[in-house]
Structure 1
């Protein structure tokens, strides 16, 4: 998944164009994963353990148990609804070819968090719709992922899911035979780098000395970054199955996983500092392009029909979304 984050009136924009795990058939899936298993939603047992007498926004007002077996392991999950990644003013929209937005109403109670029964150091993030699950299960020794089969296997039977371990994802090497550590980037102004190199070293030494002499603790006052998620038509078709609500739910599930990683991370300048944690994201708005954008002569748009994009041109066209920064 390629993303771009733009600061605009305090709102971060993440534009989603491709999926992290983009495959088209069984052969391609085997190239991406060392092992995976498929199971049907009828193989999953759902039980409501607790239901409050009255409707409540308390996340523990409803507790459900989900149990299934896959990848040689029996999973018994204790889940409750959660809206951690949704802003209080969250809105979702479908956009047509002419840029007209239509509000999409969502069922927020289909997202869950919880734990694995009997596992103290475990966590679960899940979206369950009509018995089909998109889920991440974190255990100390492994992380398990579950997704609808149609997203990766177009010929898969209806209502089936793919399960795989994070350790079974194959890491592809680059042309030099090395494993890429980061995404590529473009660095401009190389001709100025040598001139500024000495000044940079002096500034870094001064800053390091100042940090060592000034012992302080930083307590962040704002711990959530509001996001605007934008799915183009290709993402809508291939990862959302041509369904607006499915696309929106998938985007929320992706950010939910990222939010947990950030929220659990301890941020610190040095190992001898306590640091701080609890930083994360909230989704304020989601825009899904249900049609390719209709263009005038000579125009370029990130949502136009195009087989391949140059990364720089794609990011530049995305950054022109001034009307979305409201």
Structure 2
């Protein structure tokens, strides 16, 4: 055994997720707002509700007997003021009736909030409280949407290189396990994950409510942990053995309850991660910050990436270490390399959807476990027809395809290598113990409470007492409900309480108080049905339905970069040879239709025009006619061919996706897919330890590489040095000869130098 010295500098992995699109409900192509499916806290055996034009009949399993607990730290002015053992909200599992391949996960928040994920072979349905969004605070309704209807913000993933850190100062990090036989087969499969919610997250996303903050964290944790737990990681060094069951447990949650001054220079994600890395934390496998920090580039996540070598810091099980700063004084600071962060704030200051934030968190934790981005190969970057891109794809995955929430084989191998070398250092079994945390003072109205102003404002509130009961004469508290006046009375009927942004929610009108309840009913649907809205969509059942739903199809992103910023729909079609094939192609429409978005004339490009394989008139708009187009010639039956004599090509257009939408290699700009400019990634291990294609090629031809480098570099360099030495010797020889001659013909100078040469004087006779 030997002491492990970390002398290799940190290399920061920059993960930029750029987003400039307004988020909130505009980032959903389709959604429903429904009543709470479980108004009672008692968990029934079955629940029934309707949303998104279908019925859900859920059969629930009994609640588990064990209760998960974790440590909650409340931090004020940088100091821990309170520590509690907190009962984590437990998930309820089940299936849909008569759908045995389905999976249902439900989480009931501390104030009865309803979170749910329903997975079927065809679709994933998500449910979360509408009060998650600030403009709907206090609402008891539930937002329902499909994962395929999520419009990701501009999430082109690009990289930047970190200026090299100085060598770290060696510290006693304990003995390593280098001499032990390593294998992916182990009983210790759980990484202790410490979440830190900074004040920006606590006050914005958490609504200054401890219980709500914990609920959101636990809900995100459950979604992310499910991805890791269900993955078979591969041990490539031991016969490609696969092992699943690796995941996380919540080791602790820290909540900052007071503002932390952020210097002006902390505007970039790099600087923000550096500041987070300098925090002093207790030991944990990983620390992950949750924040609501906005920056000019809209970066949603960043992390240090792990490597398989124990001599390189970053990611899981990396101990804190000293690194020298780049300032003139060259001081050393203590930094933690096992840190990443996710921000719930986009570049415009809006709150992102929870499903988007969970996707970012899963992606960042994948890097912390050692997964780089997927290479551009058929195995690890499949097409849309083959299941779509995987979670660690270089650019953002939109959530349309089943692979979007899975690790690719390349990621599974990379993570497997890191687990083999690192898991035994800090992974463990999940311990849960402790006591519950009192709820009064968390700024949320819990069962048994009439109001809750929060522990810091209880003495200032005119409506509520410190025991969370209404004061005499008060009917409500304006701190808890929007339809309550500053004098603690119900707002008048018709008082505006929810005003949706027309650009964000074009299919909703303002919500007003009913004069009977302090709870705002939320926005109401517009009266005009079928109004055109975002990206050529139309208003239907309160939401802006996507264009493809008009045809009874699902939205997809075309694989070809030049087509990926066009509106593409997925459909099943029969080829000329009788084979059925799933196609994802752009859709053409008549320019005379009242389209809501940018278009390009079909005549501007070289396109093949085909009839869609079914009737597209699902909205009883007989005048509308749509086609699908391809750039290459596709062999289809004659039924799909179009008689160009009957169609005026000049009247047809292809429709664009909105700017900043993710596309095949970057983001959309005016109908074109623009690739991110920087694509460099900093590794935490050298080239010879990586397993990329170039590395394999170099190792397979190592002798030729060495000989080539010798001829190209060493021999010419040796000749240059030899020539330089020769010229230097000649110059020195000439200088020596010149000095020798001067000594002979200048005896005075020679005498002054100590050479006693007799003076020859010519005496003249007088």
SS of 1:255 mapped into structure 2: helix
> What RMSD, in angstroms, separates the aligned Cα atoms of the two structures?
3.6
Q: Measure the CA separation in 2 of the matches of 1:306 and 1:73.
A: 50
In the alignment, structure 1 residue 268 sits paired with structure 2 residue 234 = yes
> Who is 1:321 aligned against?
279
SS at match of 1:158: coil
Number of corresponding residues: 246
Tell whether the 8 Å contact from 2:89 to 2:218 is kept in structure 1 after alignment: no
SS across alignment from 1:91: strand
Q: Which of 106, 113, 121 pairs up with 2:101?
A: 121
Q: TM-score, normalised by structure 2?
A: 0.29
* CA deviation string 1:94-124 (max 9, x = no partner): 2222423313453445432333333222223
CA contact (8 A) 1:125 1:257 kept: no
Alignment map for 1:210-229 (pairs within 5 Å): 218-229=184-195
Name the residue aligned to 1:196. none
Q: Distance in 2 between the 1:183 and 1:233 partners?
A: 28
1:292 match = 259
The separation in 1 between residues aligned to 2:97 and 2:264, in whole angstroms, is 47
Task: Please name the residue that 2:72 is paired with.
Answer: 92
- The equivalent of 2:213 in structure 1 is 247
Structure 1 residues 250 and 156, CA gap change in structure 2 (3 angstroms) = closer
Aligned to 1:149: 130
From the CA coordinates, give the structure whose radius of gyration is larger: 2
Determine the structure 1 residue equivalent to 2:290: none
2:75/2:254 contact within 8 Å kept: yes
Which residue is 2:150 aligned to?
A: 169
Q: 1:75 to 1:47 in 2, by over 3 A?
A: farther
Cα 1:289/1:153, change in 2 over 3 Å: closer
What is the DSSP-based 3-state SS (H/G/I as helix, E as strand, rest coil) of the residue aligned with 2:242? Answer: coil
**1: CA distance between counterparts of 2:207 and 2:20?**
13
Distance 1:83 1:33, change over 3 A: farther
Partner Cα separation in structure 2 for residue 287 and residue 116 of structure 1: 36
Matches for 1:107-118 after TM superposition, within 5 Å: 107-108=87-88, 110-118=90-98
Aligned residue among 285, 290, 311 for 2:269: 311
Residues 67, 88 of structure 2: 8 Å contact kept: no
Structure 1's 165 and 102: CA in aligned 2 closer, same or farther, altered over 3 A?
same
- The residue number in structure 2 matching 1:34 is 29
Alpha carbons 1:45, 1:66 under 8 Å: kept: no
Shift of 1:187: 4.5
Change (3 A) 1:262 1:46: same
Say yes or no: does 1:279 pair with 2:242: no
Separation in 2 of the partners of 1:82 and 1:307? 48
Contact kept, 8 Å, 2:35 with 2:141, in 1: the verdict is yes
Instruction: Note the 1:190-201 alignment, pairs <5 A.
Output: none
The answer on whether the counterparts of 2:190 and 2:247 sit within 8 Å (CA) in structure 1 is yes
Q: Tell me the distance in 2 between the aligned counterparts of 1:225 and 1:278.
A: 11
Q: 1:153 to 1:319 in 2, by over 3 A?
A: closer
The superposition leaves residues 228-286 of structure 1 with CA deviations (integer Å, 9 ceiling, x where unpaired) of 1000111112211210111012101111111111111111257x945111111000100
Distance in 2, Cα, partners of 1:69 & 1:156: 23
SS at match of 1:292: coil
Return the structure number with greater helix share: 1
- Match of 1:154, SS? helix
Greater strand percent: which structure?
1
Question: 1:195-246, CA deviations, whole angstroms, 9 ceiling, x for partnerless residues?
Answer: xxxxxxxxxxxxxxxxxxxxx9741332111111000111112211210111
Q: 1:140 to 1:185 in 2, by over 3 A?
A: farther
Q: Is the 8 A contact 2:114 2:142 kept in 1?
A: yes
Q: Shift of residue 134 of structure 1? A: 1.6
CA distance in 2 between counterparts of 1:285 and 1:153 reads 26
Does the C-alpha gap of structure 1 residues 94 and 311 become closer, same or farther in structure 2, counting only changes over 3 Å?
same
Q: Are the equivalent residues in 2 in contact too, given 1:46–1:65 (CA < 8 A)?
A: no
Moved more, 106-115 or 221-230: 106-115
Structure 2: distance between partners of 1:230 and 1:104: 15
2:20/2:154 contact within 8 Å kept: no
8 A Cα contact 1:71 1:163, kept in partner: yes
Q: Give 1:66 deviation, angstroms.
A: 3.0
CA distance in 1, matches of 2:85, 2:135: 27
User: Aligned pair in 2 of structure 1 residues 173, 47: CA closer, same or farther (>3 Å)?
Assistant: closer
Asked whether 1:81 is paired with 2:63, we answer yes
